[in-house]
């Protein structure tokens, strides 16, 4: 089986046409600013309502909701932080892994991630990029349903950090969308 394709693009997570997108969530699953706010604005309040009914969850875990009016069918809410809105390397690693496991459970072939924990969580972009791309690479291959993982970064600094991390691994495709 071929390895999972890793893409790094600059764009809007809520506009992605992958089967699922990931929300950078807190463990109570309420959706405020950043990528979560963009998802609610584009997809509808029902996404947040459905997520909150499933919470709270442990930091590092994730739940799945429908995609509302989004192009993606599913939103995977990956809790990279608690109510204190701070995060760590371990939280980002666990949340990324959990989101990929939820995608596997649903037999999803393509999933888009924002930079987890780097907005209100304040985690350094370059470190988040290395962690998340590393988890995606370790998840790759074998009998996995996920064949494409796209990292969607809103601004140039985040795009550059993830592009550099992907290039350091010697793979990945970069583009803007």
pTM, rounded to two decimals: 0.93
Using the predicted structure, report yes or no on whether residue 138 has a pLDDT greater than 50: yes
Using the predicted structure, report yes or no on whether residue 172 has a pLDDT greater than 80: no
104 phi and psi, to 5 degrees?
A: -65, -45
Using the predicted structure, report yes or no on whether residue 12 has a pLDDT greater than 60: yes
Average pLDDT, the chain: 92
Cβ-count burial 75-85 (b if 16+ within 10 Å, e if not): bbbbbbbbeee
What is the Cα–Cα distance from 57 to 132, expressed in whole angstroms? 20
Architecture (CATH level 2) of domain 5-176: 3-Layer(aba) Sandwich (3.40)
* Contact yes or no for 162/8 (Cβ under 8 A): yes
Using the predicted structure, report yes or no on whether residue 58 has a pLDDT greater than 80: yes
pLDDT tens-digit profile of 78-117? 999 998 888 999 999 999 999 999 999 999 999 999 999 9
Check residue 4 and report its DSSP letter: P
Q: Return the closest-CA partner of residue 129 out of 151, 103, 156.
A: 151
pLDDT band at 175 (very low <50, low <70, confident <90, very high): very low
What is the Cα–Cα distance from 62 to 78, expressed in whole angstroms? 4
Percent of the chain with pLDDT over 70: 93
What is the Cα–Cα distance from 110 to 24, expressed in whole angstroms? 17
Helices vs. strands in the chain: H and E counts, helices first: 5, 7
What is the Cα–Cα distance from 76 to 22, expressed in whole angstroms? 5
Q: Return the closest-CA partner of residue 40 out of 3, 7, 65.
A: 65
End-to-end CA distance of the chain: 28
Check residue 33 and report its DSSP letter: S
pLDDT tens-digit profile of 16-28? 999 999 999 999 9
């Amino acid at each position: 089986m071929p390895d999972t394709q890793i893409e790094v693009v600059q764009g809007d997570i809520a506009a992605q046409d992958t089967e699922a997108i990931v929300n950078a969530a807190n463990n109570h699953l309420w959706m405020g600013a950043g990528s979560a706010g963009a998802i609610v604005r584009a997809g509808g309040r029902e996404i947040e309502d459905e997520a909150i009914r499933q919470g709270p969850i442990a930091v590092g875990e994730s739940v799945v909701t429908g995609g509302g009016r989004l192009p993606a069918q599913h939103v995977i809410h990956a809790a990279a932080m608690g109510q204190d809105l701070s995060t760590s390397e371990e939280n980002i690693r666990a949340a990324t892994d959990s989101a990929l496991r939820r995608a596997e459970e649903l037999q999803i072939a393509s999933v888009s991630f924002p930079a987890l924990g780097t907005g209100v969580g304040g985690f350094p972009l370059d470190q988040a990029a290395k962690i998340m791309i590393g988890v995606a690479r370790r998840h790759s291959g074998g009998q996995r349903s996920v064949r494409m993982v796209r990292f969607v970064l809103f601004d140039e600094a985040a795009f550059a950090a993830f592009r550099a991390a992907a290039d350091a691994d010697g793979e990945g495709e970069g583009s803007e969308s």
